[in-house]
Amino acid sequence: MQSASRIQRLPPNTRGEDYIVGDIHGYFPVLEAALSHLGFDIHRDRLLSVGDLVDRGPESHRAADFLRQPWFFAVRGNHEQMMLDAVGVGGDAADPAARALWYQNGGHWFESLDENRARPLLAAFAALPYALAVELADGRQIGLLHADVPAASWPATTAAIADAAAGSSILQYALWSRDRAGKILGKVEGRRPRGEIDVAGIDRVFFGHTPMPSAVACGNTRWLDTGVFLPRGRLSIAAASDDSLWSFAAGDAQDIRYEWRVPG
């Protein structure tokens, strides 16, 4: 991957809303029901994903269909990276140990795909950026990253990701870290963890990766992975313009929560 493609920058959407969705994990029917409830307009609105489109859910193969849409944008999650490590961009097994790890985390569905469906999906995942930088219509800046920022500020993070060597600890941190998420969970549970929560140099950053008991707003960070694949899991979607939240129960699209958890 060329370093420039690791950061995707989107201009303001002056026609409609930008929505940000948490980890989908193959639950595309839940996503479609949610978008219908929101009145999502494919001609005006955009849907931005924090990654982990696949694994654990019933329709992971449909990720390629969404990635082809001009209104859908996603960052790379650790599950997309596990697939690339396990299979290789060309579709040939790259690493048996990586494949075993991926299968332990829900990757078995890939075995059912024929070559005509597998190769486009691999190519689409290989092209995914690590971060999205989005300008809003009012001039504010938001960012999306799967797990955590590997530097002290958003500008330093995007620079570090762009310059990092393939497979470096910086890229691994962006995909796998639970450091900041652990602090957030500590605050949710009433503890006072040490360390900075806010990300400097940007108005708001949206993360996924670590399942939260509910969608969390803490400082200028937003945490949208609400474990759609879990027994009581939800798929959470936020509006970039005004921070509105919809958290849809995976088993009942009419069961919706609208409030962020704001830990003290």
The Cα 137–Cα 93 span in angstroms is: 44
The Cα 246–Cα 13 span in angstroms is: 20
pLDDT at 162: 97
pLDDT band at 4 (very low <50, low <70, confident <90, very high): very low
The Cα 51–Cα 153 span in angstroms is: 21
Bridge partners of residue 252, in order along the sequence:
249
Sheet containing 7-10: order of strands: 7-10, 131-135, 141-145, 204-207, 221-223, 216-218
The Cα 102–Cα 85 span in angstroms is: 9
Question: What residues have CB less than 8 Å from 13, skipping those under 6 apart?
Answer: 44, 45, 46, 136, 137
Q: Which residue is catalytic, options 25, 61, 79, 108?
A: 79
Position 122, amino acid: L
The answer to whether 139 and 170 have CB atoms below 8 angstroms apart is no
pLDDT, tens digit, 9 for 90 and up, residues 147-197: 999 999 999 999 999 999 998 999 999 999 999 999 999 888 777 766 679
Q: What percent of the chain has pLDDT over 70?
A: 95
**C-alpha atoms less than 13 angstroms from C-alpha of 9 in its C-beta half-sphere:** 7
Q: CA dist 187 to 4, 181, 204, 220, 262, Å? A: 36, 10, 19, 15, 9
pLDDT at 1 over 70: no
pLDDT at 51 over 60: yes
Q: What is the 3-class SS of 140-169, one letter each residue?
A: CEEEEECCCCCCCEHHHHHHHHHHCCCCCH
79 among known catalytic residues = yes
- The residue that leads in pLDDT, 54 or 189, is 54
pLDDT at 3 over 70: no
Q: How many residues does the chain have?
A: 264
The Cα 150–Cα 152 span in angstroms is: 7
pLDDT band at 92 (very low <50, low <70, confident <90, very high): low
CATH superfamily of 3-13+40-257: Metallo-dependent phosphatases (3.60.21.10)
pLDDT, tens digit, 9 for 90 and up, residues 29-41: 999 999 999 999 9
